[in-house]
Structure 1
């Protein structure tokens, strides 16, 4: 089994078609104040397991995908679904990445009788090439340090690489390193690494008062936006909704309809995710960026207009794009852009 680092995953996002994501549930018991999708304990979850099995088989059949992530919500609330999906992804020969809060960690790692994660969770961990374990001041309100360190030890016990993901704030990075020291001692870097992510102003975080969220987001000219690696990770939701990227807003229904397709069986899942990978517009957004695509006559007026995010620009482009996924002019712009960068 490979051990995939944060750098490995970032590198994979540069290679279009090699990554895919299974969004396994909207439900999460943690309730972090900075959640970008407003996941809650009573949010929707898997109800149609026949359809879910088709979803899993469809994503496993992707011909070029080498790594499949499982996220949510909190994947470990879906014992039956996560056990099935992790087993089938592992059997398909693809690398598995798990994203979790670690709420399932043992409550007291010092107690020999309570110091292990559940057996079914350990079986899931054993199949992974890496586990992304989130922690910061928001998570610690629900996942206290004993559960976090217990979850971290459970990952390491299965010889799986641990990526501790925190909000990009020096104090939160320092706290993550402190927790890893509690879990493994001063040599924690042999088991884990810390990776940062920005605080996103969506979901519950949209109303969060934080110095990490500016009161007014800066805006930039459309032609200035570079490539969006998120667009290189097509995603399938547990209910058969496929999306062109792994942006959680798109997964949960935001943005134009062209960003999503409805799938009812494994063949449709494979076809939809493959189709997103080869769609001219989305391929350009993920490899050279929508800024260069503003050279296309359909989008020229967007070059000088200002947008708060690459998503905002991409959604405008998607609304204007025809249903036909192939656009020879966009392909030519992309190829020229790739040659210029290369």
Structure 2
């Protein structure tokens, strides 16, 4: 494999105890998409045999709905010498004691980093005192805790930060704009923080192999990719090595890495000037731009001759 240090994500279940309006993976209490336990065990066993896999992250849905299962998986990851990370909404921080107990379990399992997803979208379902309990308890634990807050024009989470008060001192807080993926596609268009496309938005910010609860393997952890057909195959039909080989052989992904999204926009404009990718001028991020391009399968198919010519020139050169 070309990249000696892969980070892999397992989004094993879509079930969540919250129903957030912005949820980019459409998780909810009645969501049913999942990777069954036997398949997850098989994926995990395979990943732990790959020397090039350095980190495995767990997400959902809400992984701690199945707390014992999640802790068991984390323990297997860390026992193999890999880094384990986890994303949670923090519903379990009911009291200071409960918050510390779960953090202690994470610590004993060897978890390296815990991301709390909490913002104005989560707050109707998870009280801020629970997050405060977790943040306060984390100061006595070795786990790095990160607070991720998704924001829109109407929901900036500033009041929540004030409620959390001194508990956020020393905590990495990341605010990022909501993207139109999953449930967030139903948000008012004016609520998205779109801005003119810049040079930086024309380049993919990174890759991570994701085993998603819809049964597909994706080449990226950014939720807009889940709305496209850009997959590396089915989770129950391909090994990790085969998925990575598909990544490395994929002509479209190769051009993304070598040239960026501008190449596709220019190519599509020449053959389909009315296509969404040909007309877009403002986006939330590079990830939204990527999804605009690759959701339009007809336009991508129309530039196949240019894609083939590009790789013929690369091989000839």
Matches within 5 A, 1:10-21: 18-21=6-9
1:79 positional shift: 2.5
Higher RCO (CA < 8 A, seq sep 6+): 1
Q: 2:48 aligns with which of 60, 68, 84?
A: 60
Name which of 92, 95, 105 aligns with 1:108. Answer: 95
1:74-93 deviations in whole A, cap 9, x for unaligned?
12123244123212221232
Following superposition of structure 1 onto structure 2, how do residues 47-86 of structure 1 map, counting pairs within 5 Å? 48-86=36-74
Determine if the alignment matches structure 1 residue 181 to structure 2 residue 165: yes
Distance, in Å, in 2 between the alignment partners of 1:330 and 1:143 is 50
Aligned to 1:284, the other structure's residue is in SS state helix
SS state at 2:291 partner: helix
What root-mean-square deviation, in Å, do the aligned CA atoms of Structure 1 and Structure 2 show? Answer: 4.0
Q: Which residue of 2 aligns with 1:301?
A: 271
For residues 288-321 of structure 1, the C-alpha deviation after alignment (integer angstroms, 9 at most, x for no partner) is 422235677x996368822462212134479539
CA contact (8 A) 2:103 2:138 kept: no
Distance 2:116 2:245 in 1: 29
CA gap of 1:23–1:155, structure 2 versus 1, over 3 A, is farther
The answer to whether the 8 A contact 2:228-2:294 is kept is: no
> Which of 3, 15, 32 in structure 1 is aligned with 2:20?
32
Distance of 1:322 and 1:275 partners within structure 2 = 20
Match of 2:99 in 1: 117
Deviation at 1:331, TM superposition (A): 9.4
- Indicate whether 1:235 and 2:222 are aligned: no
Does 2:243 match 1:272? yes
Aligned length: 299
SS of 2:32's equivalent?
A: coil
Contact kept? 2:14, 2:213, Cα under 8 Å: no
Q: Distance in 2 between matches of 1:311 and 1:174?
A: 29
TM-score (norm. length: structure 1):
0.71
1:284 aligns with 2:255: yes
Does the Cα contact within 8 Å between 2:14 and 2:27 map onto a contact in 1? Answer: yes
- In 2, Cα distance between the equivalents of 1:226 and 1:302? 19
Cα deviation, residue 225, structure 1: 5.6
Give 3-state SS (helix, strand or coil) of 2:53's partner: coil
Higher mean alpha-carbon deviation, 75-84 vs 170-179, is at 170-179
Unaligned runs of 5+ in 2: 284-288
Give the direction of change, closer, same or farther, for the CA distance of 1:58–1:33 in structure 2 (3 Å limit): same
CA drift at 1:218: 7.5
Question: Is residue 18–residue 66 contact of structure 1 (8 Å, CA) maintained in 2?
Answer: yes
1:314/1:45 CA distance change after superposition, 3 Å:
closer
Aligned position for 1:329: 310
Q: Deviations over 1:246-285 (max 9, x none)?
A: 233544xx322x52411337x7134214532553421432
8 Å CA contact 1:242–1:272 kept in 2: the answer is: yes
Q: What's 1:138 paired with?
A: 121
Q: Does structure 1 residue 261 correspond to structure 2 residue 236?
A: no
Within 2, Cα distance between the matches of 1:287 and 1:64? 22
With normalisation by structure 2, the TM-score equals 0.76
